[in-house]
Structure 1
Amino acid sequence: MLRIAAAMVIGLTLMLQGCVSTPTSGLQSYADQYGGFEFMYPTGWAEVEVPGAADVVFHDIINDTENVSVVSSEVPEGTSLQDLGSPTE
């Protein structure tokens, strides 16, 4: 069981490393050095300002119902994921 889990972790790591090291067609990179996050978004999407709503928002310029937004908040040191609760809470 442990060997299977280790093999899965190694396989996933190799797959993710391949995604990071090679350019992905149709996607652009966004990095927020202050917030400490980065992600890829579709080419043709535009960043929009939404005051007080999110750290960053991108939307499709053709279909404005398609969008992605990132909201981050400070978490006290020593707080675990269990302390924060589940995504549905």
Structure 2
Amino acid sequence: MIRPTFSPLIFIACVLMLAIVSVAVVAQVYDFRKNFSYLQALKQSEVDYEVKWGQLLLEQSALTQPSRLEQSAIRKLNMHSPSPDELVIVKP
């Protein structure tokens, strides 16, 4: 009958190796979760910036409407449409 031999040195080495691998796995999982959380925060920032960009585009289109520009020119710069007497046609 074969009798297994028990070596305390091999047992301690295996337990130590198991402990090291376990700590490495826990560190990797923690690092992954931290990076995943950071990625989620960046994606949320991207969505927020896209919403802000859309709002700015709407504001730009509202501010550059021809009727608004005309009203600002009349009110702030005292401009007016030229009368037929004020028109000068230059021929080439």
Higher relative contact order (CA 8 A, sep 6+): 1
Where is the helix percentage greater, Structure 1 or Structure 2? 2
Greater Rg, structure 1 or structure 2? 2
